[in-house]
Amino acid sequence: MSAIAGIVAINTFREAVRDRVLYNLIVFALMMIGASILVGEISIGIDRLVIINLGLSAISIFGLVMAIFIGVGLVYKEMEKRTLYSVLAKPVRRWEFLVGKFGGLLLTLAVNTLFMTLGLAAALFYVSRQFLRTDATILVAIYFILLELALVTAFALFFSCFSSPMLSTLFTLGIYVAGFFSADIRGIGTVTRSPAMQAAARVISYLLPNFRNFNIISAASHGDAIPFSLICQNTAYAALYVALVLIAASSIFSGRNLK
């Protein structure tokens, strides 16, 4: 893509690291340690289940929180602090800057997730002394979580271009919740009487970001196989939607008069 975007991305990653964002890993590690010890006390047979469910859910939630809280400040902070001025005086296109910020946060999330995956693997090994072939589904689940985080990050970045961190957090959470319940929005449409409402609910439910597509935590804990076609489709979905949101964000950011 663009070398500039890559350079901005690495700097964004550096900023996150220096902001001590990665310290959340300590909390995660403590949690996994505590769970591993406790699970031994509860009952045999479901120990793997609990560790996988807990670990994957934690990875997802930690990632979401990080994506939103850092994401909403990505562009806003630069505009407020005016650090953007000297950067834009360089041969940097605005969209390159935006994509770079996105890439940097995504990189941060990926690194964070990688460490958490190692922690999960350690806990799993401690609890059951072995890895099963079906554990590959866990890796797919983590990959899907990353896809989900990419999309949430894109939305947070989008809002960051024009609204304050607090509002952006609300908007991003709102989109997440709406997208999460998109199937139910369609369902509510089927019990209404007006065909216009039904049609509207249907259309909206297909266009909202369907975050539930990425949640295969229960399949991972049961070791179900995930069809390769689903992996491809989810990847394509995330890629298309991220592109959509970034195009929208670029349009807005490129036209903005900064302070």
Partner 1 sequence: MSGRSRRRILWISLAAIAALFIAIGFLQMRIEAEIRTAAQQREELLLRSGPLLKRLSLGYDALLGDIYWTRTVQYFGGRVGNPGEKFELLWPLLDVTTTLDPKFIVAYRFGAIFLSEPMPMGAGRSDLAVELVKRGVQANPNSWELSSDLGFLYYWHLKDYEKASAAYLQGSKIPNAPTWMKMMAAQVAEKGNSFSNSLAIWTELYDSTQDAKVKKNAFVHLQSLRALQDTLELDQLAQQYHQQNGRYPASMKELYDRGLLQGIPRDPAGFPYTLGTDGKAELDPNSPIILPKPSEGPSQ
Partner 2 sequence: MSTPAIEIEGLTKDYPVGFWRPRLRRSLDHLTLRVEDGEIFGFLGPNGAGKTTTLKVLMSIIYPTSGTARVRGKSIDDVRMHREIGYLPEQPYFYDYLTARELLEYYARLFGFGAADRRERVTRFLERVGLADAGDLQLRKFSKGMLQRVGIAQAILHDPQVIFLDEPMSGLDPVGRREVRDLIYDLKREGRTVFFSTHILSDAEMLCDRVAVLVGGKLQGVGAPAEIVSMQVYAMEILFETQVGRTLPNSLANSATQIGGRYRAEVPEEQLYPALEELRSCGARILSVTPLRPTLEDYFFKLIASNKTVPQPEEAVSR
Q: Could you write out the DSSP letters of every residue in 178-204?
A: HHHTHHHHHHHHHHSS-HHHHHHHHHH
Q: Which is closer to partner 1, CB of 10 or CB of 204? A: 204
**Which of 15, 53, 136, 204 touches partner 2 (CB under 8 A)?**
15
Residue owning tokens 């271009």: 161
Beta-carbon neighbour count of residue 181 at 10 Å? 17
**Which of 188, 194, 195, 200 touches partner 1 (CB under 8 A)?**
188
247 makes contact, choosing from partner 1, partner 2, none, with CB < 5 to 8 Å by partner type, with partner 1
Q: Give the residue among 150, 106, 104, 87 at the shortest CA–CA distance from 5.
A: 104
**Shortest Cβ 150–partner 2 spacing (Å):** 24
**Backbone dihedral region for residue 210 (phi beyond 0: left; psi -120 to 50: alpha; all else: beta):** beta
Cα–Cα distance for residue pair 65/45, rounded to 1 Å: 32
Angle at 205 between CA 199 and CA 211, to 5 degrees: 175
Question: Are 107 and 195 contacting, i.e. CB atoms less than 8 angstroms apart?
Answer: no
Query: Which residues within the stretch 213-252 sit at the binding site for partner 1 (CB under 8 A)?
Result: 213, 218-219, 222, 224, 226-227, 229-230, 233-234, 236-237, 240-241, 243-244, 247-248, 250-251
**Which of 45, 91, 195, 255 touches partner 1 (CB under 8 A)?**
255
Cα–Cα distance for residue pair 52/24, rounded to 1 Å: 19
Rounded to 5 degrees, φ, ψ at 72 are -70, -15
**Which of 45, 195, 227, 255 touches partner 2 (CB under 8 A)?**
255
**Which of 1, 44, 89, 191 touches partner 2 (CB under 8 A)?**
89
Candidates 27-35, 52-60, 85-93, 117-125: pick the segment binding partner 2 (CB under 8 A). 85-93
Q: What is the DSSP letter of 12?
A: H
Q: Give the residue among 259, 237, 223, 38 at the shortest CA–CA distance from 138.
A: 223
**Shortest Cβ 94–partner 2 spacing (Å):** 9
**Shortest Cβ 218–partner 1 spacing (Å):** 6
69 makes contact, choosing from partner 1, partner 2, none, with CB < 5 to 8 Å by partner type, with none
Q: Please report, as a single letter, which amino acid is at residue 87.
A: V
* Contacting positions for partner 2 (CB under 8 A): 3-4, 7, 11, 14-15, 18-19, 81-93, 255, 257-259
* Contacting positions for partner 1 (CB under 8 A): 181, 184, 187-188, 190-191, 203, 206-207, 210, 213, 218-219, 222, 224, 226-227, 229-230, 233-234, 236-237, 240-241, 243-244, 247-248, 250-251, 254-255
